[in-house]
Amino acid sequence: MGWAENSSLKAEGSTDMVIGDRLRALREQRNFSQGEIEKRTGLLRCYVSRVENGHTVPAVETLEKFARALEVPMYQLFYDGEEPPKLPILQKGKSGADTAWGNNGKDARLLGKFCRLFSHMEEADLRMVLFMAQKMARREGALKTSVKSKEHSG
């Protein structure tokens, strides 16, 4: 299912966020009518209504028009807080790509070995290995979440 076919986005905390609901809330906070948004964006009022009711998911360019019309930075269309979301702290002098697993050293050699081995596998076997890796990663993520919640509660 493509992004345009599914009108809900995943927000932080795994709750569904429907972009139309957020646009309506921002519009109503500013006491703008759909007609006012039509004038400010050049989009038809009926299109604004379709977006707000979840019948249409706007393209990025259209979201930029909404943000300008609502006089908010683009990130506020997807984020409910007052301040922008905090960015991860990267090691000094290194970009996110430099700190990614498998970019250098022992991890890079291991990743290279995996790539060579996977390239010789039958598709069905590769699918099974990838499925098992996904299950293990989910289990590891759930375990970390469980440990963190216990640390915070105790």
- Stronger pLDDT, 92 or 39, i.e. the higher one: 39
Q: What's the rounded Cα separation, in Å, for the pair 94 and 66? A: 35
pLDDT in tens, 131-140: 888 888 887 7
Q: What is the arithmetic mean of pLDDT over 7-25?
A: 62
pLDDT at 8: 41
Name the token pair of 59. 């393209």
What is the per-residue pLDDT across 21-36, written as a single tens digit (0 to 9) for each? Answer: 999 999 999 999 999 9
Query: Can you give the length of the chain in residues?
Result: 154
| pLDDT on residue 117 | 81
In this predicted structure, the answer to whether residue 147 has a pLDDT above a threshold of 90 is no
Query: Domains of the chain: which residue ranges?
Result: 3-77, 111-153
Candidate CATH numbers 1.20.1260.10, 2.40.128.30, 1.10.260.40, 3.40.50.2300; the one for domain 3-77: 1.10.260.40
Distance CA 93, CA 149 (A): 32
